Amino acid sequence: MIKETSSNAVNKAFLLKSCRINGALDIISGRWKALIIIHISENTNRFSLLKIALHSISDQTLGKQIKELEASGLIIKNIIAEVPVKVEYQLTAKGEALLPILSDLSNWSDI
């Protein structure tokens, strides 16, 4: 968390206001977010399945990244009333729209 009065916070606010690309990059920044989005799109959509697919991620980091993706409106959490309760994640329309962009970024990085 950045202190609101720090120069980092002021600079971040300026960059987000100045260029919408910075806002988009801020939403998807994070070492694991793109992979989480891709795995959810491929039906690896429960915490335990994501943990297996991303075996070197800690539970704390995975939980934090999922919460940030939810807050950004890229994924939603579905609670399935079973015993035991089951939680699944799915992409929102905004998250689905990000998939071709991630693919393009991947292709661009290979140039």
Mind listing the pLDDT tens digit for each residue in 13-71? 787 778 888 888 888 988 899 999 999 999 999 999 999 999 999 999 999 999 999 99
What is the extent of the structural domain holding 85? 31-109
Pair 56, 16 in one domain? no
Pair 48, 92 in one domain? yes
pLDDT at 37: 97
Could you give the CA distance from residue 29 to residue 16 in angstroms, rounded to a whole number? 13
Residue 80 contacts by C-beta under 8 Å, 6 or more apart in sequence? 86, 87, 88
Pair 16, 46 in one domain? no
Pair 35, 70 in one domain? yes
Question: Is residue 48 a contact partner of residue 69, using CB atoms and an 8 Å limit?
Answer: no
Q: What's the CATH number where 36 sits?
A: 1.10.10.10
pLDDT at 2: 66
pTM for this one? 0.84
Structure token pair of residue 57 = 């991620």
Pair 49, 19 in one domain? no
95 pLDDT higher than 90:
yes
| Confidence band, pLDDT 50/70/90 cuts, at residue 5 | confident
